[in-house]
Amino acid sequence: MEIKRLLVINVPIKNCNLKCEYCYISALKENEKGAAKFLYTPEHVGKCLSKERLGGTCIINLTGGGETLIPKEMPQYIYQLLLQGHFLEVVTNGTLTSRFDEIAEFPRNLLEHLEFKFSFHYAELKKKGWLDRYFSNVKKMWEKGCSFTVELMPYDGLIDDIDEIINLCKSELGAACQITVGRNDLTEKKDLLTSMSRKEYESVWRKFDSTMFDFKLDIFQKKIDDFCYAGAWTLYVDLGTGAAKPCYGQLSNQNIFKNPEQPIIFNPVGKHCRQPYCYNGHAFLTLGVVPELETPTYADIRNRVCEDGREWLSKEVKDAFSQKLADNNEVWDEKKKNSYERKYPFIFFKTALYDWKEIYNKVIRKRKK
């Protein structure tokens, strides 16, 4: 089964049931309380994100600013997207047992297209006495046919616990967790979240032998100059409103939920990335939005092979996550790229007008309320 696109969907929730000291939402003082607001039903969103409209089977990532599964509506959004035949990745802290109980009742053929990225907030889970709950939920979804990965945020406060964390994951899940690379969003260049030097940081955390850590550190603060197909092969979508943009760092250029019959705009970023570096390159780059770059696959980033030979990703999910989008989409020649680059200022101007209009309308709606 060919994977056509990557969709990263923002779930409009910023509150969380954990209070991790390294949380970037808290650091930016963006954590908000209150229910998430969805303008469109799960059934409508499913229709808007059909294979036909998106051009084929997609990998869809669902991530909240806080805990993704807090909104009671989330299981039904997940269900409707799975019905479309896509592969879903849900980012979660793994603690909301009632949500997993509900999702576990889905048909197995749907669950086999579902992968959870279980963020492993070790210190906070230990403090609350929730470690058993966490691993129970991971294993419950694994037994139901879901794939998963367990991912730790490495930060200075955990250095003394490294051996304990590795042994715990091996005991519970058959392999050490993957680890990411922490960034400090309060700094302009999104520097490493550590008081150590980069060399010290790398030496300490390489003990996990994590493909994700190795790759994220390799691309850390490296600006990519090659032509990027984010926007053509990817979208970043707000689940609450339907506002969409090419990727994290670009402006919104459309609403893909307002009219399901209207074609979606797929314009690439090209050489106009607005971020200091691709800090979510572990997904975008491994799936091949810049075909010239040699990278591990997304499966390499997420999977682990257990001591008994089992793998965290099922064969079907592993096959999907091992693909490169360049193999299933048109790669432009230099003439077409250059022609697009010349037109880009006009495309950006039109995008900017759309984005500012949306911001203006949002402010007006708030004032009227």
- Supply the CATH number for residue 276's domain: 3.20.20
Is residue 239 one of the residues assigned to a domain? yes
Nearest 5°: CA angle at 208, between 186 and 172?
A: 110
In a domain, 360, yes or no: no
Considering the domain boundaries, does residue 299 fall inside one? yes
Half-sphere exposure of 11 (CA within 13 A, CB side): 28
The H-or-E segment that residue 368 falls in is helix 334-368
Q: Which tens digits make up the pLDDT trace of 316-337?
A: 999 999 999 999 999 999 999 9
Q: How far apart are CA 9 and CA 155, in angstroms?
A: 27
Q: Name the pLDDT band for 361 (thresholds 50, 70, 90).
A: low
In tens, the pLDDT along 280-325 reads 999 999 999 999 999 999 999 999 999 999 999 999 999 999 999 9
**pLDDT confidence of 28, banded at 50, 70, 90?**
very low
Q: Summarize the confidence of residues 57-75 as an average pLDDT.
A: 97
> Could you tell me which residue, 51 or 35, shows the higher pLDDT?
51
Per-residue pLDDT, averaged over 80-103, amounts to 98
Decide: 24 and 280 in contact? Cβ < 8 Å.
Answer: no
**Predicted pLDDT of residue 366:** 61
β pairing state of 87-92 and 57-64: parallel
Number of structural domains, the chain? Answer: 1
pLDDT in tens, 112-140: 999 999 999 999 999 999 999 999 999 99
The answer to whether position 240 is within a domain reads yes
CB 17 within 8 A of CB 93: yes
Task: Name the burial class of residue 207, with classes exposed (0-12), middle (13-18) and buried (19+) by CB atoms within 10 angstroms of its CB.
Answer: middle
pLDDT at 363: 56
Within a domain: 205 = yes
Q: Is residue 369 part of a domain?
A: no
Q: Does the pLDDT value for residue 25 go beyond 60? A: no
Q: Is residue 343 in a domain?
A: no
pLDDT digits (tens, 9 = 90+) for 151-185: 999 999 999 999 999 999 999 999 999 999 988 87
Output the average pLDDT for the chain.
Answer: 92
The pLDDT value given to residue 27: 45
Look at residue 276 in the predicted model and tell me its pLDDT. 84
The pLDDT value recorded for residue 304 is 98
249 is in which domain, residue-wise? 3-325
Whether residue 350 lies inside any domain: the answer is no
